[in-house]
Chain A
Amino acid sequence: MDEVPFPTLYAAHRAAVYRYLVAAVGPEGAEDCFQETFLAALRAFPRLVDHRNLRAWILTIAHRKAIDHHRDRRRRGSELASATRAARRADTDGVAAIPEPADEALWARVRALPSRQRTALTLRVVGDLSYAAIAAATGTSAEASRQNVHLALVRLRRETDR
């Protein structure tokens, strides 16, 4: 029997999902996206047949929730304001789940990338997924995923040099 019970899936991947979301949507939105990710996973779980790569499966869902989050926020505005709020909250209640300020600036730049590049880069660097898994998660080819990561890096470097 190689079916994995849901509580085992949750325990094994909660930290990776949270980490991915902190990078993908920022510390402020990570919590909500986390809840939505695991709720969607719970609902879809009975239909999941292949339990061999649960990490890729759950990160794919997290990736979709991150996309939704970006779409909503574009409607509502200001990334900067929420980053500031998050930093302030970290000061007051000592939550250790906020990236260091220098890192957070880097992640903010990643989040400002065009959607496909941002997604491919975050799944690769933070989610540690293969290009094949990224392709499956985003509905493109492995080659396109590799290309998107490459373009993202070129763009980030150009900004740094400026």
Chain B
Amino acid sequence: MIHIRRDLAAAACRLPVRPPAGLDDRWRDSAQASGAVDVAYHAFDTPLGRLLAAVTRVGLVRLAFIDHGEDRVLRELSVAVSPRLVELPSRLASIRRELEAYGRGRIRAFDVACDWQLIRGFAEPVLRATGAIAYGEVSTYAAIARAAGVAGAARAAGNALARNPIPIIIPCHRVLRTGGGLGGYAGGLERKRLLLRLEGHELELD
């Protein structure tokens, strides 16, 4: 009895520690084919830093700077969108290519369908107005509030922009303070400067 128990324990220790190569790829294929994935995401490096992009069946629902790890964003997506969340790089391949090209200055606009489900209330007109600012141009918090139909709500517009779930694609970095101050940026002010310089602005700001 003791022997067989010991033999089993020893054999259990010798079972493969590492699953075979390709198992994860085949899991991603099965998950993709099953249709059970509500949110597909991928984390990758770009000239703009490390990003995590997430898509639903509708489109891009979240783009996040993940300088401090992806866990917080994965939790946020699980709670706010769906727990059926799987990393499927192939679903994010074209978005990744576009971000890469944009970061190298090779394209100026994105051909990406967005899912606006994380954008509610006042944030919606604010971010719609922000989406209309062309590459190479900038606007102000006050002007965006006005365009969103609530003149004088510059601070509220700033708060909505700070929570933009799809930065870069919805170009909240193009919104500055009246008078030219940089204002804020969820990805850090250094990154806001980087994006504005990339789009051709000579910055002597802040």
Q: Which residues of A does B touch, CB under 8 Å? A: 1, 3, 5-8, 10, 14-15, 18-19, 22-23, 31, 34-35, 38-39, 42-43, 45-46, 95-100, 103, 106-107, 110, 121, 125-126, 153-154, 156-157, 160
Contacts and interface: CB of A to CB of B under 8 A. Distances in A.
Interface of B: 1, 3-5, 7-9, 11-12, 14-21, 23-24, 26-27, 30-31, 34, 36-37, 41, 71, 74-75, 77-79, 82-87
A160 to B, nearest CB: 6
Instruction: Give the interface centre of A7, A95, A107, A154 by most chain B CB atoms within 10 Å.
Output: A7
B57 to A, nearest CB: 15
Contacts of B26: 31, 35
Contact of A95 (B4, B5, B20): B20
B4 A160 contact: yes
Given A6-B84, A35-B26, 15 more contacts: A3-B78, A5-B83, A7-B41, A10-B86, A18-B16, A22-B15, A23-B12, A42-B34, A42-B86, A45-B83, A46-B82, A95-B21, A96-B16, A110-B8, A126-B15
Contacts, number: 115
A99 B14 contact: yes
Contacts of A107: 11
A8 B12 CA distance: 24
16 contacts: A3-B79, A5-B83, A6-B78, A7-B41, A7-B74, A8-B74, A10-B27, A22-B15, A34-B23, A35-B26, A35-B27, A42-B37, A42-B86, A43-B84, A103-B14, A125-B9
B7 to A, nearest CB: 6
Contacts of A97: 16, 18-20
Contacts of A23: 11-12, 15
B30 A5 contact: no
